Each structure stands twice: as structure tokens, then as C-alpha cells.
Structure 1
Amino acid sequence: MMRVLPSWRIVMVVALTLGYMVLGVTLGGGSLVLAYYSSQSEDPYYHMLYLFFIVAGTVVVVGFLPGGPYAIPDGERVEPQEQRQFFGLVNGVASRTGQRMPDEIYLVFDHVNAFIFHSGGILRGKRILCVSLPLFHLLTVSQLQGIVAHEFGHLDRGNIRIGAWIHLIQSGLRRTINMLGPDRDPKSRVLRMVRLPFVLYSRLVLYMTVPMFRIQELAADRLAAETVGSYTYGEALRIVHQNCQAFDAYVIDSLLPMLGRGYLPPVMEGYARYLEFTGRKYDEPARKPDDVHPPFAERLAAIADLPAIEAENNLPASSILNNGAELQVRLLRTLLPEDGPKDFTPVSWYEAGQLVIIPDWKRRCSRERLVLRDVTLGSLRSTVAAADKFDLFAAAFGLALYREGWQLDHEPGYLRLRRGDFKINPHDLVEEMRSPEFIEDAWREMLTKFGLDAGTLLTG
């Protein structure tokens, strides 16, 4: 199995920690010392230096203190007596990977993901495993075992404690950088001189730790493939890879607006429709320099030499959850602010469009009535081309069509207003109007074709 040598990791973390301390003490402490000497002078110039050094030193010292441990995400802690089959799955995987059970297990509605971390201290503290509910709907039982086995792979040889320590350093650097001002704020130009060493050191930490974390990810992949078989785990990886960004987009674009109004359409059915209607592909999500996960193809290649092993249980992973519908409702509440709806009314996606989309358009147009005043369908193109409130005009246009008798067709990822053979997506059409190629004559022809009066006011 691919592993990072413990001695090398320890030396690297100690070196990064010492560098972090030297940087903070030198710049923070040095600024405060210079502030003290500047305060001893009667020269007004030195008084300005005193203010600069006292501010810079205080910010650096406060920001330099290591950040806190990982915060437990919003979710629901599950107990063995409540979810016996799920705990049995986790316990079985722990035994097969040679690890002890996590101290706490949470179910979350946070991405299509699972993660394990160390909370409450580096040397002691608790192991916390979080598994997102969507995984249960997308994976089989055996595939879910593979994902959990991967997370246990992060416990091997102190990897999780190394990660927690690096997290403390990175969070302290981020806080210091943020406190010293944004990149392009001219008011913080002088403080940016103090900020620069922290930015450079933060990049150094990424440069040194990201390759290590990627090696650890590959080692965890191999452990998972050894546990459930390379084919089963490879399929689980593929499903997570293809759905992680797509599901986030679905929740933000389609689900949250409904939940925020107190309506609960079918969640996973809606996700399937979202993928169908949008036609988006997430086979290779955009990567960032600090992405600790290797590319998908590299992860598959790392387990290709391991035996496939026949899957033990091809039942949907959702079959091992008790009271799954009630659990889903409780987890969905964690996506909303504290003053959000506490109870949801079950509706179909078609009903959700009538109950949420149209009322939202009406509220938006009512709030911005002055902006829409005197705008007609005929003047919409020229108004949109010179305005910046694209979403407002799209909502007003859609509402105008609805008042003219057009029917709203709404599904996750799909919104059209329909009359006869004509279908219009108001957002797409208003976006098209902003193009210089979309001329006034073309808009007039469209109004005639759709049977719309150019003099109709958007406000009704």
C-alpha cells in the first residue's frame, strides 16, 4: 500500500510550524516593538508610524494564533439504537480496516460526500465521521462500505492528526491575511506590505502539503478497494465524482428556493429530473491548486491492480436507514437559516412552480416597481441592453407572459412559459437581448409571432 513515511511527515509539519511561529513572532512582535520606540518620539511623523505599527502588530498577533479545530457541520448525530444497520456497516468496515469505531457519527445533507476528522485537540480529542444522506440514495450498500473504508484510511499512521495540525496553521494564516485587508483595497496598501509574507508562506504550506495529502488520498483509495473490491469501490468513486458538483447545483438552483417557502417536493426524483433537463456534465469538475484529491483517472489507476471481489450487497444503501423520510426532513432544515420554515408542505414539482416561482416573481417586481415603471414589452429590449438588473427584467417578463395567459412549465433545471406551440425561457431570452446582435427589428418580429402587444406594461 502506498504510504508517506511518518518521519518525513513529522519533520515537515514541525518545520512548517516553526516557520509559522517565526513569521508571526518576527512581524507581529517586531511591529509592536517598533510601535513602542515610535511612541517615545515627539515628532508627528513618528506618531503616524506608531499608529501603523500598533495596528499591524496587533492584527498579526491576533491573526497569528492558530485557528480552532474543525467545526462539527450542521447535521444530526445518530445513535446505535436508532440506526442499527448503519452502525453495523460502520463497525464492520472498522474491523476490516483495523480501526476503532469513530467516537461520533453524523448524518448531514452536505454535498455528496463523506469525511472524517479529529476534533477537540491534536493529541486527544474525538474521531468524528460524517456521511451525507444523498450518498444513501446514490450508492449500494457495498459501495457505501467502500466510501466509509476510504475515510478510515485517513486514520492510518496518524494521517488525521497531521491533517488537523495543518488545518490549524492554514486557518491562522487565512485569518491573518483577511484581517490585513483585501488585495485591491487602496486603503490597505501599506498593510499589504505586512500581509505579503503571510500570503507567500500560505502558498508554501500548500505547495508542501497538497502532494502529501494527495498521496494519502491514494493510499486511502487502495485500502477501500482492498476492503470491498476494486470494481465496487471504483463505481462508488465514479458516482461520487459525477454527482458531487451536480447535486450542489441542484440544491442551490432548485431545492433551496422551495424549502425556503416551506414546500417540500420529491428530493431525489427532482435531482434525476435536474440532470435530465440541464444536460450538464460533471465528468471532470474544475480543479483548484489546493485540491487535495488527485484527478479521478489517477485514483482509478491507483486501484487498477487490486482484485475486483464480488459485491456483498447490491441493495440501495437507503435500505439500511430507519425512518429515512423523517430523517431527510430534519436534515433539510439544517440547510435553512434559523428563522426559516420548521415544517414543510409536500408538493409535486409542478405545484412547486405555481406556489413558489410566480409568487417570487410578483414579490420581486413589487419591490422594484419604480425600476419597471413605464417599461413595456416593446421597450424591454432597449431597456435590458442598458440596465444591469437582468434577473429583475427576466422575472417581470415572465410575469407579463403569465398574465397574458401563458402556462408555466416548471421542473428542476427547466422553466418555460408555454402557449400553443411556443415555449419561452424568460431568463434565456432576456439574456439574449443583452447581445448587440439582438436588434430591435428582431424583437418586434418575435412579439408579433407570439401574439404579444408591444404596448403592454411589464407592471401590468
Structure 2
Amino acid sequence: MSTSARAATAVALLVGFYAFALGIVAGLIVLDVALYRASGELRPGLIKIWALTAAVAYPVVRVVFLTRRRKDGGELPGVLLTREQQPAVWAVVDRISEQTGVRGPAEIRLVPEVNAGVFEETRLLGLIPGKRHLVIGAPLLIGLTEGELESVLAHEFGHYSNRDVRLAAVTVAGRRAVLNAIGGLHQRADQHQADEAAKLAAKAEKRLAKGRKPSAEQASGGVDRVLAKIFTLYAKLYFRVSEAVGRRQEYAADQVAARIAGRDATAAALRKMPVLDSAQDFYLGRYATIGWDAGLLPPPGQIYGGLAHLLTDPKRRQELAEYALELPEEQPDPYDSHPPIERRVAAIEALPDDGRGNGAIGPALALLHDAERALTELEVVSLIPEAARKQRVEWSELVRTAMRTHAREAAAPAYRALAGLGLPATVHGLLDAVDAGRAWEFTDRLPKSEKAAAATGRAAREFARPVLREELGHASVVALVEAGLAGWELSWAGPAELHLPDGFADGFDAALDAACTDSPDTAPLRALLAGAGLPAA
């Protein structure tokens, strides 16, 4: 079946979705009228049946036909990139618009996601066109070359340039409408079930208070749940057909991108997209927000812009390049509008060599005038309000302070246990506990696994020994850091690197082992700490 035929089928199914809903309501009305005529008079039983049919018809009418949906033309998130402020970005977009023969966007916005897209303010389920918006993800500007970015943008315009998919907008808008209806029915069912469960719980409590066994009745969600399941079955068929249209669109748009930006640049961009997505998640979790709990954030513009440091580190670049070459194999999902990325790459790389290579190899971020300011503005409009209360510090200070905070948190249970024993909450206090034969008393106050809690005698000590060793290590590091004798340094190639005093690491493991035997000797660790410059207790 051609893409146009599939799109037409999807539109027919969308019409059928609403016809199905109307059919349910109309059928109930016909049933009510038929029963009234058959009875010849208004009876109490007939009124009960009418109430039941009304309970079925109301959620269908309320959710499917009367629920307000968000209009596409609302304020989009992100930073507005005007022609006056960003002429280079607009020049690329205008050129691609001209080459694809597609009407360009009315506005461009910078967003934090690894994504680019063209959205249109359509009416009548996409049949009437309107104002277009282009969004460009900051990670794409940071991680792609100009040629690769052109490929991504050409792909987005390619969705509008393929004449055989004019009904595609209808399928997309229809998908949103169907999801909205099903979601509304499930939401009503969830609320009904919650209310019913609360009533049943109250009844059960009263029965128990009277010494009676509570009922085994369970909350179900009522007629709303039944309707939601029925409409979901129909929706699955619609999604299967409409998403098949979406997958063909993706392949067609990739062909447009290859024609505009070149085969190699398009394939390279496709390979980089999942890499950038993973790199962005890793960067935000391990770097940008590492100091969140300590009340710290990177300098302005670096929450998103700092991704460039990770991507340009030689070791990370090698890792990411290897990941891009070995894309994971995915089984196509019939309900996913995007084909597996490795299949899209294979389709592009199978095209004849057009001799254009990777196109413009300059960083795409260079297109953005005053990138630091734009990325700072993006932070303002996209971060949660709590971020405004964080202190902005340089990367080196951010890592040092954040890691020190994490180390303190790791040592906190040990300090609380020492305080409970009446000992100083320091490494020397813990060493004194070991010398006094109170090591196992100390570990007994720490959180335990279920097995460790059940162990006794020798077995309990074997569970406690590595715990004692770990806590001695934490307390030693914290003491050195607090005294300014040790600290962490930022590394874009791996985790933050802990720098200990010269020679300290050479004897640290042996000193910890000596302090954790059945006949503990704390002298080596005390000597090591003193030799590093840490004052004695």
C-alpha cells in the first residue's frame, strides 16, 4: 500500500473513531426510545435504565467531543531566535526552505532537547495550514557540524515537501485527538476507582470495628474503565496504520536531507543523534547537576553549553565515535512513528556516492551569534524555579565542593554512630573506638542488610569488617579534605579525580587492612595521616 493510501486509510479510521463514539450514543438513545414505546408508560424500572444509559453516554460525549484540547499555536518553550539577532541561523533555514520548495517558519526557537522539528498551527485536523515554527535543540548546535545540522533541518522540511503525504498532518493531529480521548476516559476511570476504593476502605473499617469480616469487593473504575478499554482497542488499529505512515515519512524525509545536505552528512547526523542523546543525559546527570545538593550550578550558559567540554575531550570523543559506528539493532515497533535508526542509516548509506563528503565541517554552534548569551537565556526559560536560588561557580570549584559534600554525606552515618558512642565524630574518634575494642559496637549502629542483621558471632564480624574498612576510608578522606590536604579535580575524560597527599595512596590500603583485623593495629593509619600533615586528635 502506498503512503498516500495508508494516510487516507488513517483518516478514514479517524473518522470512524468519532463515528464509533456517535454510534454508541445514538444506539443508547434508540434503546431508550424503544423501551419507552414498548412499555407504553413511564415506569420506575424504565427510569433506572435511562439513568444507566446516561451514565454510559455522558463520558463518551464529555471526553470525546467536548474536552478542550491545547491549540498548536500557543507559546512554544525555548528562546526566540530573531532574524536581527541570529542572521546566520536564519540564512541556513532560508536556504533549505528554498531548496526544498517549502514555506519557511515564522519563528525559530532554541530548546534544550536533542531534537529539531517544524510545527504548524493547523486547523480542522491539519487540513487548513497556518503559521510554522521551527525548534532547534542546543545539543544539536553543540554536537553537530554545519553540514550535519543542515541535514537535520532538511529532514524536518522534507516532511512538508513530499507531495504524496499531504494527509500526514491529519494523521498526526488525529493521533493527538485519539490519545486525548482515551487518556480522558482512563483519567475518569482512575478517579472513579480511587473514590470507590476510599468508600470501600471506610466500609471495611466500620465492619472491622464491629468485629465483622470486611467485604472482598474491589474497586473497578466502573463504566469509564470499560469504555476506555473498548476505545483503546479501536485506537490500536488506528495507531498501527497511522504510524506506518509516519515511518514511511521518515524514510522520505531522509532522502530529502541527503539530496540537500549530501549522503555522508545525512548518515553522519543520523548516527550522531542517539549518541548526542546519551551524551546529553550523561552530562546533565554527572556534570551539570553534580553540585545541585550542595546549592551549586555551573557558570551561566554552561548548564547546557558545558556539553561541549565533554564532546571535545579526546577520550570521550573516541568513546562516542565508537558508539556511533556500532548502533544497537532494534526491532521495529508497529506503534512507533520512527523506524529504527540503524535502518535509516543503512538506507542512506546505500545511496550512490554524491561526492560531497560531510559538507561544511565547522561547528554548528558558530552559527549562533553570542552563543553564551543565548544559552544563558535558555537556562532562564527552561530550568525549574529552584535553579535560580543556586550559586553559580566555576567548574573547578563546582566539582571540589560537590565532591566534598558527597564525601561528608557518605561519612555522616559513621559520625552519628560515633556520637552515639560518646566519641568524637572524626577519623581519630573512629580510630579510638577501634583501639578501645568498640569497632563492632560501632558497626552495629550502622545500617545493615537483612543478612547482616540476622548474623551472629564470627559471621556478624565478617559482614561488619568491610563496612568498618569503608567507613575508615571515608573518614580519612573527609579529614584530609577538610584540612585542605586533599581534594578533587575536574576530569572530562572520567569521574572527578581525588588527589591525596604525596605517597599517601601507597600505604592507604595496607593501613586500612591493618586496622580491620581481629587484632587491629591503628598505628599505620595514624602515622599515615600524621605524615600527610593532619594534626593528631
TM over 0.5: yes
Structure 1 residue 295 corresponds to structure 2 residue 340: yes
> For 2:22 and 2:410, how far apart are their aligned partners in 1?
52
- 1:228 is displaced (CA, Å) by 1.5
> For 2:146 and 2:331, how far apart are their aligned partners in 1?
29
One-letter amino acid of the structure 2 residue matched with residue 317 of structure 1: A
What residue in structure 1 maps to residue 77 of structure 2? 74
Structure 1 residues 384-437: Cα deviation after superposition (integer angstroms, max 9, x where no partner): 8799xxxxx9xx979756544465646577367776439x9xxxxxxxxxxxxx
Give the secondary-structure state (helix, strand or coil) at the position aligned to 2:77.
coil
Give the secondary-structure state (helix, strand or coil) at the position aligned to 1:93.
helix
One-letter amino acid of the structure 2 residue matched with residue 414 of structure 1: P
The partner residue of 2:15 within 12, 15, 18 is 18
The partner residue of 2:153 within 148, 152, 156 is 148
> Cα gap change, 1:262/1:25 in structure 2, threshold over 3 Å: closer, same or farther?
farther
> For 2:172 and 2:105, how far apart are their aligned partners in 1?
16
Give the secondary-structure state (helix, strand or coil) at the position aligned to 1:315.
coil
> For 2:277 and 2:521, how far apart are their aligned partners in 1?
42
Structure 1 residue 414 corresponds to structure 2 residue 414: no
> Cα gap change, 1:84/1:220 in structure 2, threshold over 3 Å: closer, same or farther?
same
> For 1:181 and 1:416, how far apart are their aligned partners in 2?
52
Structure 1 residue 382 corresponds to structure 2 residue 427: no
What residue in structure 2 maps to residue 437 of structure 1? none
> Cα gap change, 1:214/1:5 in structure 2, threshold over 3 Å: closer, same or farther?
closer
> Cα gap change, 1:417/1:315 in structure 2, threshold over 3 Å: closer, same or farther?
closer
Structure 1 residue 238 corresponds to structure 2 residue 274: no
One-letter amino acid of the structure 2 residue matched with residue 382 of structure 1: K
What residue in structure 1 maps to residue 398 of structure 2? 352
> For 1:138 and 1:109, how far apart are their aligned partners in 2?
13
Q: What does 1:218-237 correspond to in 2, within 5 Å?
A: 218-237=251-270
Structure 1 residues 244-273: Cα deviation after superposition (integer angstroms, max 9, x where no partner): 233134324542454784522551245346
Give the secondary-structure state (helix, strand or coil) at the position aligned to 2:448.
helix
> For 1:416 and 1:41, how far apart are their aligned partners in 2?
83
What residue in structure 1 maps to residue 328 of structure 2? 284
> For 1:41 and 1:361, how far apart are their aligned partners in 2?
77
Please say if residues 257 and 356 of structure 1, whose CA atoms lie closer than 8 Å, have aligned partners that are also in contact.
yes
- 1:180 is displaced (CA, Å) by 4.0
Structure 1 residues 285-324: Cα deviation after superposition (integer angstroms, max 9, x where no partner): 8778333221223212322224333254221111111000
What residue in structure 1 maps to residue 298 of structure 2? 264
Please say if residues 111 and 138 of structure 2, whose CA atoms lie closer than 8 Å, have aligned partners that are also in contact.
yes
Structure 1 residue 176 corresponds to structure 2 residue 242: no
Is there any run of 5+ residues in structure 1 with no aligned partner, and where? 388-392, 425-440, 454-460
> For 1:45 and 1:254, how far apart are their aligned partners in 2?
66
> For 2:96 and 2:496, how far apart are their aligned partners in 1?
44
- 1:325 is displaced (CA, Å) by 0.6
Please say if residues 226 and 306 of structure 1, whose CA atoms lie closer than 8 Å, have aligned partners that are also in contact.
no
What residue in structure 1 maps to residue 434 of structure 2? none
Q: What does 1:318-329 correspond to in 2, within 5 Å?
A: 318-329=365-376
> For 2:155 and 2:175, how far apart are their aligned partners in 1?
20
Compare 271-280 and 210-219 and name the one that shifted more. Answer: 271-280
What residue in structure 1 maps to residue 237 of structure 2? 204
Please say if residues 14 and 238 of structure 2, whose CA atoms lie closer than 8 Å, have aligned partners that are also in contact.
no
Please say if residues 159 and 216 of structure 1, whose CA atoms lie closer than 8 Å, have aligned partners that are also in contact.
no
The partner residue of 1:193 within 226, 229, 235 is 226
> For 2:521 and 2:343, how far apart are their aligned partners in 1?
53
- 1:171 is displaced (CA, Å) by 3.1
> For 2:228 and 2:119, how far apart are their aligned partners in 1?
30
> For 1:274 and 1:180, how far apart are their aligned partners in 2?
53
Give the secondary-structure state (helix, strand or coil) at the position aligned to 1:117.
strand
> For 1:28 and 1:372, how far apart are their aligned partners in 2?
71
Write 1 or 2 for the structure with the bigger share of helix.
2
> Cα gap change, 1:29/1:334 in structure 2, threshold over 3 Å: closer, same or farther?
farther
> Cα gap change, 1:334/1:251 in structure 2, threshold over 3 Å: closer, same or farther?
farther
- 1:135 is displaced (CA, Å) by 0.9
What residue in structure 2 maps to residue 330 of structure 1? 377
One-letter amino acid of the structure 2 residue matched with residue 172 of structure 1: N
The partner residue of 1:97 within 97, 100, 109 is 100
Structure 1 residues 98-136: Cα deviation after superposition (integer angstroms, max 9, x where no partner): 11211221111112x211122253213221111111111
Give the secondary-structure state (helix, strand or coil) at the position aligned to 1:62.
helix
Give the secondary-structure state (helix, strand or coil) at the position aligned to 1:220.
helix
> Cα gap change, 1:88/1:192 in structure 2, threshold over 3 Å: closer, same or farther?
same
One-letter amino acid of the structure 1 residue matched with residue 250 of structure 2: E
- 1:223 is displaced (CA, Å) by 0.6
The partner residue of 2:138 within 133, 150, 162 is 133
Please say if residues 401 and 417 of structure 1, whose CA atoms lie closer than 8 Å, have aligned partners that are also in contact.
no
The two structures have a TM-score, normalised by structure 2, of 0.64
> For 2:57 and 2:410, how far apart are their aligned partners in 1?
47
What residue in structure 1 maps to residue 118 of structure 2? 116
Structure 1 residue 107 corresponds to structure 2 residue 110: yes
One-letter amino acid of the structure 2 residue matched with residue 61 of structure 1: V
Give the secondary-structure state (helix, strand or coil) at the position aligned to 2:253.
helix
Structure 1 residues 46-105: Cα deviation after superposition (integer angstroms, max 9, x where no partner): 49x94x765654433333247434465420111111110110011111111111211221
- 1:5 is displaced (CA, Å) by 4.3
- 1:149 is displaced (CA, Å) by 0.4
Please say if residues 78 and 378 of structure 2, whose CA atoms lie closer than 8 Å, have aligned partners that are also in contact.
yes
> Cα gap change, 1:288/1:404 in structure 2, threshold over 3 Å: closer, same or farther?
farther
Give the secondary-structure state (helix, strand or coil) at the position aligned to 2:283.
helix
- 1:21 is displaced (CA, Å) by 0.5
The two structures have a TM-score, normalised by structure 1, of 0.73
Give the secondary-structure state (helix, strand or coil) at the position aligned to 1:305.
coil
Is there any run of 5+ residues in structure 2 with no aligned partner, and where? 37-41, 195-217, 421-440, 454-466, 527-537
Structure 1 residues 123-155: Cα deviation after superposition (integer angstroms, max 9, x where no partner): 132211111111112111111111110000111
Equivalent pairs counted in the alignment come to: 419
Please say if residues 217 and 293 of structure 1, whose CA atoms lie closer than 8 Å, have aligned partners that are also in contact.
yes
> Cα gap change, 1:306/1:292 in structure 2, threshold over 3 Å: closer, same or farther?
farther
CA RMSD in angstroms, aligned pairs only: 4.8
Structure 1 residue 217 corresponds to structure 2 residue 250: yes
Please say if residues 3 and 248 of structure 2, whose CA atoms lie closer than 8 Å, have aligned partners that are also in contact.
no
Please say if residues 333 and 342 of structure 1, whose CA atoms lie closer than 8 Å, have aligned partners that are also in contact.
no
Give the secondary-structure state (helix, strand or coil) at the position aligned to 1:77.
strand
Structure exhibiting the larger radius of gyration computed from Cα positions: 2
Aligned-pair identity in percent equals: 21
One-letter amino acid of the structure 2 residue matched with residue 333 of structure 1: V
- 1:377 is displaced (CA, Å) by 4.7
Structure 1 residue 63 corresponds to structure 2 residue 63: yes
